[in-house]
Structure formats: C-alpha cells, structure tokens
Amino acid sequence: MQQKQDPVWVQDNLLKVQLAEYSALRAEISSFHSIEHMSISFAIAAFSAVIALLIKTGVTLDDLLQSPANHKPDIALIASPFLFLGFFFGYSQIRIIQVAAYLNLRLRPQIVQLLGDTAFEWESYRRGPGFLQARLSALLSWCRWLLFVWPLLLLIWCAAWSWGVLPMDRLLYIEIIGFLLLIWFGVYCSWSLPKQVAPVISSFDVGSPLSPASSQIAEKPQAALQIRFARPTDKLSEVVSFYRDGLGMPVIDHFENHAGYSGVMLGLPNEQVHVEFTHAEAGSPCPAPTRDNLLVIYMPDLQMYREALKHMRDQGHVPVAPENPYWKDKSETFEDPDGWRVVLYNEEAFSGRA
C-alpha cells in the first residue's frame, strides 16, 4: 500500500497509461484515415463507372447538356452515391480532427512534460521543409472534396431546364439541397474545424523533470505541483477568445457566479501550468501596467511558428511593436483585449543568448 503513495511510482504508472492511450488513439486515427481512403477509392470507381456507362450506352455529354430533361433518372442515379460517400468522408475527417486535437492539446503535452520533446521527434520532422507545406496540403484537401460534389453541376443544369413538381423533379431538388449541405460540410471540415482545434499550444517546450539536464529542483518528483497565473478582467469573453481561439490554449475548467465571480482556466499547455481569468460582478478592470508585462511563448520549430502567426492574423489579431528591442528579432508581439502582451518567439528559451 505504501508503494502506491510513492510519487515516483505514481508518475511512472501515469506515464505508462498515457503512452498506452496515445498509441490507441493513434491507431484510431489510422483506422479513420483508412475509411477516408476507401471513400475516395469508391468515388473514383463510381466516376469511372459513370464514364464507362456513358461510353457503353452511347450517351454523349452533348446529349446530357442539350436534353437534360430526358435524362433525369440517369442523373439522379449518378449523383446519389457521390452524395453518400461525401458525407461518409466528412464524418471521417471530423473524427480524425477531434482525436488529433485531444492528442496534441491535452495528451501529448503531458507526455512531453515527463519525457521531453525527443519522444515526438517525428512530429517536428514531418513539419520540416521536406514535407508538404500547409497551403499545398489545404489545396489537396479541397481537391478531394471536388471528387464528391461535382454532380451538383449536372443536377442544377437538369433542374434549370425543367422545374416541375413530379416525383423525379422533387428528387432532383432534394439531391441539390443535399449537395449544398455537403459543400457546407466540406468547408466546415477543411476550414472552420481545424481553426477551432489548431494545435498551436502543442509546440510549447514544457521541459522534462526527468531529464538529466534539468535543475536539481526539477529532479524531485513534481506530480502534485500545479501552477496557476490568475488575472482579473472586465472583458472575460474577449480575453478568453484571444487565448483560446487565437493562441489555441485549451479550456480546462470554468465557473460562473461563485460568490460574485466568474472565471475560465486555460492550459499552458495543460492543468499543470495554467492561466485563470476572472470577472467580478462589481467590476474587475485590469489594464496592463506597462507594455513590458509579457507572456513569452517559445517556438523553436519554424514551421509551427509560421502557422501560429498565420492563425493569429486569420483571427484578426495584428502584431504590435515591442517595447523592448530585444523582442524584435525572431518574434512577433500581440496585445490581448486588456493590453497585456504575448510574444511568440522562434527560438528556444535557453539557447545560450543573454
């Protein structure tokens, strides 16, 4: 019984559980990637079958365009499998992003805190210049969605020539609505959802208390140690949006109307080190006392640093000039709604520089 209370024993077994969970979730991502690939393969096969059918029956593209009303059943039949495959493909993408967000925002930082970043060297290597850049990857993602939504053009063309109330006409209208929903679904999966779960915070170097290079204090078990930076604000929703949606810090807890206070806690990157913003009903203004009150986030990975800056700008946050000229090199400074400043710095915290 005494062994279970040993912090080292607890930390070691916690690490084993976290690694097992990480492996299981990576396997789940791989399985949904397989579903994605199968959906694309079926869509390609269906597209090939459509071409083969047109060749076999002697129906040309001119026939479809000049007399679309005569081919309503054919066009409706052609469109339906692409509609179902598209939604199946989108569901797989959502599941992949959800699991990846949990891995990058919650689980991975906890493992890095125990083992250091060397446990995830592949994650940094695959973001290097030898791999596809973010914009090219996004372009390819949009191209995959085109494979599922192209029948919408045929449906609109056919319906435009013969608006009616017959059952076949209604089926065409339903399919058109379905494809419009599929396009919205694709925009959500490829554009909106990744922004909501952007793993900016996953690149933080949280250090390793088990590393030989750590200080003498860090060599002691720190399983029970948690650090919170608390700050009041009269702009709670705006401040939370800045740190959550802009910087990607995960919300780990919140409370409302507790003795006249409401608050939100966000991870730096998890509950071991986190920040709390509170608001009192009686008022709690907290403008920055100076322009040198900073939260500095070090991002040695250049690609991750660039993605973080782009994400901040996409959220409408414009860099400001730093008060201290030291931060002009390899960094950008942003102000939160209260005027407190955050520096994104493309270098390690302790790299031998003054």
Q: What is the pLDDT of residue 206?
A: 37
Q: What is the pLDDT of residue 64?
A: 63
Q: What is the CA radius of gyration of the chain?
A: 26
Residue 160 CB contacts under 8 Å (≥ 6 apart), including other chains? none
**Among the listed residues 102, 100, 2, 86, the one whose alpha carbon sits nearest the alpha carbon of residue 40:** 86
Which pair of tokens denotes residue 132? 């596809």
**Among the listed residues 274, 144, 113, 291, the one whose alpha carbon sits nearest the alpha carbon of residue 208:** 113
Domains contained in the chain, CATH given: 3-203 (no CATH), 226-286 (3.10.180.10), 288-354 (3.10.180.10)
Residues in a beta bridge with 332: 344
Contact 92, 36 (CB under 8 A): yes
**Among the listed residues 93, 317, 85, 92, the one whose alpha carbon sits nearest the alpha carbon of residue 200:** 317
pLDDT in tens, 52-73: 877 777 666 666 666 655 666 6
Contact 49, 106 (CB under 8 A): no
Q: Name residues of the chain where pLDDT drops below 70.
A: 1-8, 58-74, 113-138, 159-170, 192-224, 351-354
Q: What is the pLDDT of residue 275?
A: 92
Q: What is the pLDDT of residue 264?
A: 93
Q: What is the pLDDT of residue 36?
A: 84
DSSP assignments along 13-49, one per residue: HHHHHHHHHHHHHHHHHHHHHHHHHHHHHHHHHHHHH
pTM above 0.85, yes or no: no
Residue with tokens 């973080």: 308
